[in-house]
Amino acid sequence: MTETAKKKEPLVPLVAQIVGIRTDTPDVKTFKVVNTDGKKPFSHIPGQCAMLSVPGVGEGMFSITSSPTNEDYMEFSIKRCGALTSFLHGVEEGQQITLRGPYGNGFPVNADFVGENLLFIAGGIGIAPLRSVINYCRSFRERYGRIDIVCGARSPRDLVDRDEALGEWAKDRDIGVHPTVDRADKNEDGWEGHVGFVPSYVKELGFSPDRTAIICGPPVMIKFTLEGLEELGFDKSRIYTTLEMRMKCGIGKCGRCNIGSKYVCRDGPVFRLDELDALPDEY
């Protein structure tokens, strides 16, 4: 870190601007963000997060969904669930927000993942942090082995990044995209894909355990998927997940996002399953 960067107060954010809004599902929108000079606010590692805020409304931690290889802007896929997210869902392009980060460790895309066959498993908005990794890996396709992506949602219209996943990703050679939905009305949604929960679909697909698995989704999905993967013979040291906790500072100081001695904002949000097993059962 440079001397000037050091002196800067980490809690003071920079001003950024929403320059694009895409409606993914009835409750998820993806926001394209640049700084006031029209450039990408800062660089990041896939899996890292940023504190996004609208003054007077709130501040929240969101994973950066765009790939670091995107040099022009940053994207956040945000599900409407609280005050801040509801506000964001109501804004128009040109709205300024504040941003600070990047926070967290990110995925070991240039270390442990290199040369590995990768299996991404996402449930609902859980695709948000994985999208950054997936697109990063697609940019450096030669570094990684086979890539499979299982993505699930409550219904076809709740599938986040549906066009990208079923379009761009599925077209790639050596990438298998396996979408599934909890339930679908064939007449209404025109869904011809798989219907069923993510954990059982993963077992059904019967992936061989010589892969690195990366999971993100609601806690209950993660729990049952992990059980499924262990049944398939996956080693805990090769399963990664990313956690969500209440955060205020993002820098391991405000004291609320710890699990045992690990702070999710600083030491996470990406953890290997064997690391999580060593932590107290508080999540």
Chain residues that interact with another protein, rule: CB under 8 A: 1, 4, 6-15, 35-36, 55-59, 81-82, 85, 91-92, 94-98, 219, 244-246, 248-249, 251-261, 279-283
Q: Which lies closer to another protein via its Cβ, residue 75 or residue 244?
A: 244
Q: Which lies closer to another protein via its Cβ, residue 125 or residue 149?
A: 125
Q: Which lies closer to another protein via its Cβ, residue 137 or residue 273?
A: 273
The nearest distance, CB 162 to another protein, in angstroms, is 22
The Cα diameter of the chain in Å comes to 62
In what side-by-side order are the strands of the sheet with 58-63? 58-63, 49-54, 96-103, 14-25, 28-35, 74-79
Q: Which lies closer to another protein via its Cβ, residue 70 or residue 96?
A: 96
First to last CA, the chain: 33
Q: Which lies closer to another protein via its Cβ, residue 7 or residue 171?
A: 7
Q: Which lies closer to another protein via its Cβ, residue 55 or residue 196?
A: 55
The nearest distance, CB 65 to another protein, in angstroms, is 17
Q: Which lies closer to another protein via its Cβ, residue 59 or residue 75?
A: 59
Cα gap 94→13, rounded to integer Å? 18
The nearest distance, CB 109 to another protein, in angstroms, is 23
The nearest distance, CB 283 to another protein, in angstroms, is 6
